[in-house]
Amino acid sequence: MSLRVLSVASECVPLVKTGGLADVAGALPGALKAEGVEMRVLIPGYPAVLARTEAADTVWESPDFFGGPARLYFARHAGLELYVLEAAHLFDRPGGPYLDGGGSDWPDNDIRFGALSWMGAQIGAEGAGGWQPDLIQCHDWQAGLVPLYLKARSVDLPTVMTVHNIAFHGLMPAARMAALGLPGWAFHPGGMEFYGQVSALKAGLVYAWKVTTVSPTYARELRTPEFGGGLDGVIRARAGDVLGILNGIDEADWDPATDPHAVRFRQPRGKAKARAALLEEMGLSDGPGPLCVVVSRLTGQKGLDLLLQALPDLVARGGRLALLGSGEPPLEQAWRSAAARHEGVAVRIGYDEALAHRLIAGGDAILLPSRFEPCGLTQMYGLRYGTIPVVARTGGLADTVIDANPAALAAGVATGIQFAPVTAEALSVALDRLCDLYADTDLFAKLQRNAMRAPVGWQGSAAAYARLFREIVPTP
């Protein structure tokens, strides 16, 4: 019997993306089809979404929905079945999904995504266009109020709260409860209250039937004060209901043999042309060391300030570095300055999807020194292309990369390099190990072959989600 699941998400590829949440929301429906799960995605009607979807059917509308007229329509796009919440007063704006053109949060984000959560609960309670889910999957704080809205309506529908990054709580003043229609009985430390405010994420963690996050290691890390973002107590209290399911990547989009953006290859030896093309494009001369690449947001979380400190040692070993990213202005400037100081460093500030593919195709190694990383997809792209990941031992990075220690090398299973603690000194040691491995041509080629064989797709993860969904959906 097919299982019907509604996925409530604030972003979804290929329509709108700021991070890994969008990749998961866009990839899971297709991956779950093979598991007998029919998944539809509820997404806000941002301008980019409205421009790329056509209403096949208006399934709900209201003249006054959280401050203005709104409608819900069903659409299909790129293989996805979508419910689009069209509400111009909430979502028809310039800038990104969460930030205005100046990089500040929209002041009414709580209302905007409270409305999205309300609509998710509405579909769960009454259906939409003749379709009603057996279960709702809620992604991050933007969908965190769905389980509470259902409980307030006395609707006993299974819900799964999926945490992509616990650092973002969706905090709002308690005074907003009335405008959002939130029940006063839930405003207490055991409910949605967080130090005098409402936490949409905490509401989801408390009232959802089950909680998942995007890697097994991150699920364990969330129980600790260091990684739990103030919600570690909630995670510990619900430890039996918390499950880590690793993300996957789109293997069709990230395939070195068919990539339309880069020099194509099937085996590590074919990377030589992609490497040479990347050096030329980035204006770098070749050297005796590895060509390292970084494709990342430039934030403290990603540890790229640590890489700045370790950079001189890498360059001294003959390594090269090509970086693509944007983020915090001080880090952007620091990396521009590093490129000016070091002949072997090239930096592009911004984001360019095609260039990201060429960096990962042409690099010898990809660096991810993150202080925390719930899952991470970039290291999986690296594995797929035989671009050796050098990663901090945290979250999904620890779960996807097998460290090239002596035992793993002897067993022939190593796929990359892990380091801990997450310090500049430990990163320097890891880069030194990378240079040593690179100098042994045969060993490095074997490492690349191992990496390219590593499982990085959605098959196993989709099966795990399907098992979880079926465990908690009551049997008819």
For residue 221, what are the CA distances in angstroms to 218, 418, 422? Answer: 5, 17, 15
Task: Please report the domains of the chain, with CATH numbers, ordered by start residue.
Answer: 3-248+459-472 (3.40.50.2000), 268-453 (3.40.50.2000)
Tell me the average pLDDT across 277-299: 97
407 CB burial (10 A radius; 0-12, 13-18, 19+): exposed
- pTM, to two decimals: 0.92
14 falls in which pLDDT band (50, 70, 90)? very high
Residue 222, pLDDT score? 97
Whole-number average pLDDT of the chain: 96
Is residue 103 predicted with pLDDT exceeding 90?
no
Tell me the average pLDDT across 51-56: 85
Residue 217, pLDDT score? 97
Tell me the average pLDDT across 176-189: 97
Residue 1, pLDDT score? 63
The C-alpha atoms of residue 107 and residue 161 are separated, in whole angstroms, by 25
Is residue 476 predicted with pLDDT exceeding 80?
no
Is residue 470 predicted with pLDDT exceeding 80?
yes
Residue 311, pLDDT score? 98
The C-alpha atoms of residue 450 and residue 416 are separated, in whole angstroms, by 9
Tell me the average pLDDT across 341-345: 96
The C-alpha atoms of residue 188 and residue 194 are separated, in whole angstroms, by 8
The C-alpha atoms of residue 366 and residue 375 are separated, in whole angstroms, by 16
Helices 424-439, 304-316: axis angle to 10 degrees equals 40
The C-alpha atoms of residue 161 and residue 205 are separated, in whole angstroms, by 6
Is residue 379 predicted with pLDDT exceeding 80?
yes
Tell me the average pLDDT across 314-333: 96
33 annotated to a ligand binding site: no
Residue 37, pLDDT score? 97
Is residue 435 predicted with pLDDT exceeding 80?
yes
Tell me the average pLDDT across 275-304: 97
